Amino acid sequence: MISVRNLSKSFGSTVAVNNISFEVSKGEVVGFLGPNGAGKTTTMRILTCYLEPDYGTATVAGFDVFEDSLEVRKRVGYLPESAPLYTDMDVVSYLRFVADIRGIPRDLIGGRLRRMVETCGLASVVGRNIGELSKGYRQRVGLAQTLIHDPEILVLDEPTTGLDPSQIIEIRELIKKIGRERTVILSTHILPEVEATCSRVLIINEGLIVASGTPEELNATAGGEDLIHVSIRGGDAVAEGAGLQDTGTQDSGVKAALSSLAGITSVEKTSEAAGGYSKYIVKVGNGADVAETIFRLAVERGWTINELKRETLSLEDIFLKLTTREVGQ
């Protein structure tokens, strides 16, 4: 659907996009992830024909962004960052204007408008001036504007910035819904957003693609570690041996037993919890599922467990690792 080869773009002496190449196939939801100023917006502006590349080629839906710019623009819906809109127009006349330019036949425009109002939840603001709308509603009008001509490809630049948490969830749900039938590229610097909406991630930093893959793949390649939070009371184990009465020795017993399990790289005691429970953080090597073995061990030794929680240190770490390393160079 989208194919980018050796794309470069500079502004003066600043290189915004440096020789990047990637492909996006039909039906994918791809997230551009990167710190501010990484080149996400520039890449999107090239794909939507707002800017022309200095070097390299980009084809969207089979058309070159430079040679067949109008054909590309007909097939793409684009929501620029912060959703700029004509604030002096009301919602319906704005959408009608876009529909008009998009060449939607006059007799279909009414139906499309109704569908957009429904999909994007605009019913309560239909007659209002765009200038009076809250950020969340403007964002929705922006989305409605990108969807009105039923585009094959959507390009959304930071679609959730400036929204409150419940609006963010709504917009993400909307993007997911849209993404079932269409190809979507979205950019963000918010990590959970990528995990929540994207099937593939491109991490961009300083104009380069530093990593690409599904969130799980990225996790695996970067050797993401899992943490297990476990809270144990060494009840019977304590009673069995006379020398194990004080908690210090009890802890070292539990710690030693946990450390000896396969797949565990380190065990660390964090705090003494109420009721004789001690909390431990167990670091687990790549991929191993040790929650079950810990449970079996506890049963065997007669320990009581009142917390056993797994935490994946994921994209966030990979992101920081990749982007700070680049910065450090």
Partner 1 sequence: MRNTVPIMKREFSSYFNAPIAFVYLTVFLGLSSWLYLKGFFLVNEASMRSFFSLIPWIFLFFVPAITMRLWAEEKKVGTLELLMTLPVTDTEAVLGKFLASFIFLVVSLALTFVLPLMVGILGDPDPGQIVGGYLGCVLIGAAYLSIGLFISSLTENQIVAFIVSVVAIFVLYILGADFVLFGIPDWLVPVFSFAGLGGHFDSISRGVIDSRDLIYYFSVIGLFLYLNVKVIEARR
| Residues within the interface to partner 1 (CB under 8 A) | 45, 48-52, 70, 73-74, 76, 78, 80, 82, 84-89, 93, 97-98, 100-103, 145
Q: How far from 249 is each of 63, 244, 254, 255, 307, CA to CA, in Å?
A: 71, 6, 9, 10, 21
Alpha carbons 79 and 9: distance in angstroms, whole number = 21
Residue with Cβ nearer partner 1 (55 or 86): 86
Tell me the closest approach of the beta carbon of residue 8 to partner 1, in angstroms.
14
Residue with Cβ nearer partner 1 (48 or 219): 48
Residue with Cβ nearer partner 1 (98 or 294): 98
Alpha carbons 266 and 225: distance in angstroms, whole number = 11
C-alpha 24: how far from its chain's center? 16
**Which run of H or of E encompasses 30?**
strand 29-33
Residue with Cβ nearer partner 1 (14 or 286): 14
Alpha carbons 65 and 297: distance in angstroms, whole number = 61
Residue 24's DSSP bridge partners are: 2
Residue with Cβ nearer partner 1 (52 or 240): 52
Q: How far from 174 is each of 90, 116, 165, 171, 177, CA to CA, in Å?
A: 23, 12, 14, 5, 5
Question: Token pair of 134, please?
Answer: 């809250």
Question: Token pair of 272, please?
Answer: 């003494």
The residue count of the chain comes to 329
Tell me the closest approach of the beta carbon of residue 210 to partner 1, in angstroms.
27
Determine how many CB atoms are found less than 10 A away from the CB of residue 131. Answer: 12
Tell me the closest approach of the beta carbon of residue 187 to partner 1, in angstroms.
14
Give yes or no for a contact between 87 and 129, defined as CB atoms under 8 angstroms apart: yes
Residue with Cβ nearer partner 1 (21 or 97): 97
Return phi, psi of residue 77, to 5°: -110, 130
Residue with Cβ nearer partner 1 (47 or 218): 47
Tell me the closest approach of the beta carbon of residue 275 to partner 1, in angstroms.
58
Residue tagged 């079996």 (tokens)? 296
Tell me the closest approach of the beta carbon of residue 228 to partner 1, in angstroms.
47
Tell me the closest approach of the beta carbon of residue 49 to partner 1, in angstroms.
6
3-state secondary structure labels for all residues of 27-65: CCEEEEECCCCCCHHHHHHHHCCCCCCCEEEEEECCEEC
Tell me the closest approach of the beta carbon of residue 41 to partner 1, in angstroms.
10
Residue with Cβ nearer partner 1 (103 or 248): 103
Residue tagged 């990108």 (tokens)? 146
Tell me the closest approach of the beta carbon of residue 52 to partner 1, in angstroms.
4
Alpha carbons 189 and 325: distance in angstroms, whole number = 17
